[in-house]
Structures are given as structure tokens and as C-alpha cells.
């Protein structure tokens, strides 16, 4: 095997809704020319011959992620050989990052730093920690003088929980946020997020796991056991969805920063990957109305998207104005400062979805922040 351009192998599963069975596949990713091929395990035959006609990136192939290949959505469930497990797998370290109460307006800055460090966001949700969850999360500090103050603070408002994946993810995120002590952060890491935004050593902007063991424990509490109760308001809000292509292109942080700069309050944030039936259900109002409906539905389930509930006076019209015309090519001409002009390329890859009818705003927010999480 070429050590400079290795071939990695992954176990994928496809849920066949008609037959109601899970079908296993092996995906080979050839790094020397970015080609892939699929092997049908059950029928012991090639399912997709070697091709570069795909949109997969190697960093998309982490366990638990869902990827779209030729219109079908597969889940990455494991590595399929020891080489991939011991080589690629070691590069996919996970860590838990948490933006603490009172700092969600700086979420865009944090996400930009994550992307700049060549890391990937696997999970993200904004919401509340209960006293029980916060106590379990910080159990190592129980009995210390600051414990009650810490628990009260961490349950005082919404946090943003983030699972970060990538090479040296634990240490990279800890370098991004800087030392725990605010004065130390200002002195030793003046460009760190804590030095720039923290208010005190308790209200110090963010949390980061300090070891692989801590990471797995904290990720288990927050994501595996649904430790965060999603925040949303529903009334007087509107929905902005950062589409999969924009997420994959690394635009998430910049788009969220633009929302905040335009005085939108982030009242709900959720990263999720839709399947095609769910995408079709959400976009049903566009069926038969726009010619590119199927392309639009396929794009929405082609990878992780980020749903953001926002509020401000006249939120519906203000958000539509910031997003700009649906076709990014039109937006570049008549609304060059809009999100779709800056981060989109055409009518399908137009960076963001926003609610088009004011009466649908609450329904769309409810769909993502309530119905999808029941």
C-alpha cells in the first residue's frame, strides 16, 4: 500500500425502507485520486465501481456520520480493516466543547477557530442543563468551595454543547480557549477565546475536556444520554438553516457571526442530518412550485445542516432581507451583502434556507426543535 496516499476502508449501512432491512456495504476511499467504490456485502458484488463523481471528503467518514452517495444516505458504522482503524481512526479523536451561559453571541467566533484548526463538528445543540445533569457533569468538584456557584451558573441559561472530531482535537480546543484562569489567559494566551471574552474564572466562556477519558464521559452525559434540553421560543422567531454544502465549506462560523452582527438573538441551535423522507416532508410546500425541488431536497440531506432559531423585532422580514434572493446569482447582483450572495453559488447551493411565509415561521421552528427530537 502507498503510505503517502493510503486507501481507507469503512463499513456503511443503508436502511432500505421498502424492505425494512439494513443493508451493509464496504466503502473504499482512495486518497491518491479521491475516488471511492462501494461493495455490497450481502450479495458479495461491486455496487458502485471506482469513481470520483461524488462529494465526499475523507473527514466526513467518521463513525456515526451520515453521508449521501448517488442519492442514497448511508451511515458510517465502523472501520472495516485494521489499517483504517489504526491509521485513520487514531486521527479522529473526539472532545467535548461547551460554550457556557451568557456567551452564545460568540458562537460564530468559536466555530471559526474550530474550522481553522482543521477540526470537524460532529454534534452541536444549544439548550439547558438541569441541576441533575450539571451535578453529574461536575461531580469531581463536589465538596469544593466553588461547587454550588458553578452549578448555579451552569444552569442559569442555555449552553452550546459541541462534539469536535479530528487529529489532536482535545489539545487543539484547549489551546483555542486558553487557560482556565482569566488572568492567566490574558497574560499567557491573549488571543485565546477566554482572554478575549471571559468575564471571570467561573464565567470563563467555555469548557474543554482535558483527556480522552474525560471526553468520553462528558460526551456520554451530553449527547449519548440527551443531557441538554433543547432551547427554543417558537413565538416571535424565525428559522435559518445553514445548508450542508455551506457547513462542509466551513461557512458556519461566518454565517452565525453575520446573524449576530445584524442583532439577531440566537434562541435555538441544532446540528442534525436529515434523511430524504424528512427533507421531503420539511420542504413539502415547495413541491410542484419550484423546478429544482428534488435537487433542493437532496441537498438538504446531503450532510449535516444547522438549524438556528432567531429573534429580534420584525424578525421574519429582517431575516429574509439578510438572506437575500433565493438564487445566489441574482443575490450577487441586487443584494451583494446578503448571506446567499456571499456564501452561495446558485439557486440550490444558496447557503441558507429561511422561512418564506410568515405564518410558517413557528411551524418550521417547531419542526426542528420539537418534532425531530421527540
Q: Which residues are catalytic?
A: 207
Cα 237 to Cα 264: distance, rounded to the nearest angstrom? 10
DSSP 286-308: GTTTSTTHHHHHHHHTSS-EEEE
Q: Which residue has the cell 433542493?
A: 296
DSSP 313-351: TTHHHHHHHHH--SSHHHHHHH-TTSHHHHH--SSSS-S
Which grid coordinates are listed for 244?
A: 450542508
Taking Cα atoms as reference points, which of 231, 241, 263 lies closest to residue 101?
Answer: 231
Taking Cα atoms as reference points, which of 330, 333, 372 lies closest to residue 347?
Answer: 330
Which grid coordinates are listed for 176?
A: 483555542
* φ/ψ of residue 30, rounded to 5: -95, 105
Which grid coordinates are listed for 73?
A: 444516505
Q: What contacts 202, CB < 8 A, 6 or more positions away?
A: 146, 149, 150, 153
Q: Which residue has the cell 491509521?
A: 87
Amino acid at each position: 500500500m502507498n503510505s503517502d496516499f493510503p486507501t481507507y476502508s469503512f463499513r456503511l449501512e443503508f436502511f432500505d425502507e421498502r424492505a425494512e432491512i439494513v443493508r451493509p456495504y464496504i466503502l473504499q476511499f482512495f486518497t491518491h485520486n479521491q475516488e471511492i467504490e462501494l461493495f455490497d456485502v450481502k450479495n458479495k458484488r461491486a455496487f458502485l465501481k471506482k469513481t470520483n463523481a461524488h462529494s465526499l471528503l475523507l473527514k466526513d467518514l467518521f463513525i456515526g456520520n451520515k453521508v449521501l452517495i448517488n442519492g442514497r444516505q448511508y451511515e458510517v458504522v465502523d472501520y472495516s480493516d485494521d489499517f483504517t482503524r489504526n491509521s485513520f481512526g487514531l486521527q479522529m479523536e473526539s472532545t467535548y466543547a461547551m460554550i457556557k451561559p451568557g456567551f452564545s453571541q460568540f458562537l460564530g467566533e468559536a466555530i471559526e477557530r474550530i474550522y481553522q484548526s482543521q477540526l470537524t463538528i460532529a454534534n452541536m445543540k444549544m439548550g439547558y442543563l438541569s441541576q441533575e445533569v450539571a451535578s453529574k457533569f461536575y461531580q469531581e468538584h463536589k465538596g469544593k468551595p466553588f461547587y454550588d456557584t458553578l452549578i448555579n451558573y451552569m444552569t442559569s441559561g442555555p449552553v452550546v454543547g459541541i462534539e469536535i472530531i479530528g487529529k489532536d482535537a482535545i489539545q487543539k480546543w484547549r489551546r483555542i480557549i486558553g487557560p482556565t484562569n482569566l488572568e492567566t489567559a490574558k497574560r499567557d494566551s491573549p488571543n485565546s477565546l477566554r482572554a478575549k471574552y471571559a468575564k471571570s474564572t467561573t464565567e470563563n466562556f467555555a469548557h474543554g475536556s482535558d483527556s480522552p477519558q474525560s471526553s468520553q464521559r462528558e460526551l456520554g452525559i451530553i449527547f449519548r444520554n440527551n443531557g441538554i434540553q433543547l432551547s427554543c421560543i417558537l413565538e416571535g422567531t424565525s428559522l435559518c438553516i445553514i445548508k450542508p454544502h455551506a457547513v462542509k465549506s466551513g461557512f458556519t462560523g461566518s454565517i452565525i457571526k453575520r446573524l449576530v452582527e445584524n442583532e439577531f438573538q440566537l434562541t435555538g441551535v441544532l446540528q442534525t442530518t436529515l434523511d430524504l423522507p424528512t427533507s421531503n416532508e420539511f420542504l413539502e410546500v415547495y413541491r410542484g412550485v419550484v423546478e429544482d425541488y428534488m435537487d433542493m431536497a437532496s441537498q438538504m440531506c446531503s450532510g449535516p445542516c444547522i438549524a438556528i432559531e432567531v429573534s429580534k423585532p420584525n424578525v421574519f422580514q429582517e431575516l429574509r432581507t439578510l438572506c437575500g434572493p433565493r438564487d445566489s446569482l441574482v443575490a450577487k447582483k441586487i443584494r451583494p451583502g446578503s448571506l446567499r450572495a456571499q456564501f452561495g453559488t446558485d439557486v440550490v447551493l444558496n447557503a441558507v434556507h429561511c422561512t418564506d411565509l410568515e405564518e410558517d415561521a413557528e411551524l418550521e421552528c417547531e419542526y426542528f426543535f420539537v418534532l425531530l427530537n421527540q
